[in-house]
Amino acid sequence: MKNTTMMRCGALTIISMLAASCAPAATVKVTKVGDGWQLLRDGAPYFIKGAGGDGSKQLLKDLGGNSFRTWGADGSNAKLDEAQKLGLTMTLGIWLGHKEHGFDYNNAAQVAGQLEDAKKAIDKYKDHPALLMWGIGNEMEMGFPDGDPAVWKAVEDIAAYAKKVDPNHPTMTVIAEIGGGKVEMINKYCPSIDVIGINSYGGGPSIAERYKKAGGVKPYAITEFGPPGTWEVGKNAWNASPELTSTEKALRYREIYEKAIANQPMSIGSYAFAWGNKQEATATWFGLMLPDGSRLGPVDTLSELWTGKPVANRAPAIRSLKLEGAEKVQPESTVRVALDVADTENDPLKVEWILQHDPVRNNTGGATEEVPPTYPEAIVKSDARGAEIKMPKYGGGYRVFAFIHDNHGGAAVANVPLFVEGNAVAPAGSARRAQLPFTLYAEAGDAPYIPSGYMGNAAAIKMDMGWETNPHSGKTSIKVDYSAKDNWGGVVWQSPANDWGSAPGGWDLTGAKKLTFWARGDKGGEVVSFSFGIIGKDKPFFDTASNQLEKVRLTDEWSQYTMYLKGQDLSRIKSGFVWNLGANGAPVTFYLDDIRYE
């Protein structure tokens, strides 16, 4: 091996060179063309045919996609390298603070810290050959006054820095729809933003027309689109939102693409949502795939829109899923549902029936949600045409799902909501059983517990869940920064997210003997306390066990720490891991990795 292999090629180290060719960074520009805009990559027209989410990027490539987007910069090396290997591009997201997470754009210290983090990400990834654009923020304007320029000035500072150090990649900021004067504010306060990214669902088909009326002069990309959200559809008698079938959703993706994305002079392309599977509102509301990776009808539609030709074997099509009888029923009563489904190629179809609790959370923020419990014993009998279901004795909302699979990786899904009348509630201890070892963190990505419970001086806390420098194992670790010199702070890994004992959830960790994790300080000498199980019995859904390691003094080398669990009731652990510290005249930085119950 020649010595030159030890040199850096842009953001690629020798390790990543082995996974992706060390190509030069592409030059990407937005160029005015007549009354509209065009994206050019190395001088050639480049229309974004993309998606956002954690689903297979190989499948994205195979079906005619050319790009994907992220929401934050954590762990971007591996994602960019995969994009380069597959011949895809990536719009790299730079996460900006949200009001709901305690961020204040009129807090100079918070804004300055955010700017420095953004600069580091830009410096680190600007020369990667798979980088397409910078996605500066995602719906960070939500909750702040429409006329307050503070958000947009912070966006401009980051965009201006990107333009200064990286003239090869456009800057984009992503907003939730276009009302409230957002387009006008970006035009006025963000001259360094090249592209406006728009997340739009129910209003997606009319974006092109409404964007012009809103004063849009910059090119736009539709950065999230799909079926109408729960906040955009009607509610039934118990506030549940009827969900479109996967076949009906395919028509929505097509309508938005044809009316607002393709052949629109201001449009430079789009990112469909969500490429993969996500529990949000329901188990299937936004996901383009099922958890096993099977593709739903909207994926076939997107492929046809991207390539101009239909897929070779199409997903099954649902004509209807109907409830035979009333939507509100008595406890332990029997209900029947009828399914009408077809397959264009007459493939054999397999139908799986699932009854799932419906918590009726009409979330609009996109936060990760707990997967509600299912009741397999409720399915009395079933076939490809319908099912007979004995409802639980517990009152509340439910959904009956029909999951249909063909033998070519295609699938379809539909559900109908039901309500069991009565005051009986499911036992508080009904947590999902965990399979050991049970990992809270090993790499960046989704986890069974969500680090959402910020405590103390939350504004001083920043956690990078994909820190790529010197992890204990794998490619990333967690970097924790507490920037204040006084007071205290901490974060709780919760199930469900943002819950302090008022909602069901948690995990049954029976059989676990110990909770282990690895930690190190930035300099050594940092004092941090660790624990789990902090929700007391004064709450309806409490932790059935707890333990703690008080005031651990970290070294600057990775060390493993253990909490022993022998003899404890682990049947419902809702707060799976906690750190907290008190500052003593100086900020504190430390790192975590490989957190698991064994």
* DSSP string for 4-23: GGGS-BTTB-HHHHTTS--P
Residue 13 pLDDT exceeds 90: no
Is residue 217 a contact partner of residue 178, using CB atoms and an 8 Å limit? no
pLDDT tens for 384-395 read: 999 999 999 999
Model-level pTM? Answer: 0.81
The CA-to-CA distance between both ends of the chain, in Å, stands at 42
Residue 121 token pair: 């990400």
pLDDT tens string 509-528: 999 999 999 999 999 999 99
pLDDT tens digit sequence for 122-140:
999 999 999 999 999 999 9
Torsion 281-286-289-293 (CA) sign: negative
Q: Provide the pLDDT for residue 102.
A: 80
Q: What is the mean pLDDT of residues 60-86?
A: 95
Residue 345 has pLDDT above 90, yes or no: yes
Closest CA to 337 of 349, 355, 314, 350: 355
What DSSP state is assigned to residue 258? I
Short-list 516, 501, 528, CA closest to 582: 528
**Mean pLDDT value across the chain:** 91
Sorting pLDDT into bands at 50, 70 and 90, what band is 373?
confident
Per-residue pLDDT tens digits for 255-303? 999 999 999 999 999 999 999 988 888 889 999 999 899 999 999 999 9
- Least Cα distance to 576 among 515, 487, 524 occurs for 515
Residue 265, both tokens: 């002079």
Percent of the chain with pLDDT over 90: 79
DSSP 333-356: -EEEEEEEEE-TT----EEEEEEE
Instruction: Taking residues 514-543, report their average pLDDT.
Output: 95
- Residue 115 DSSP one-character state: H
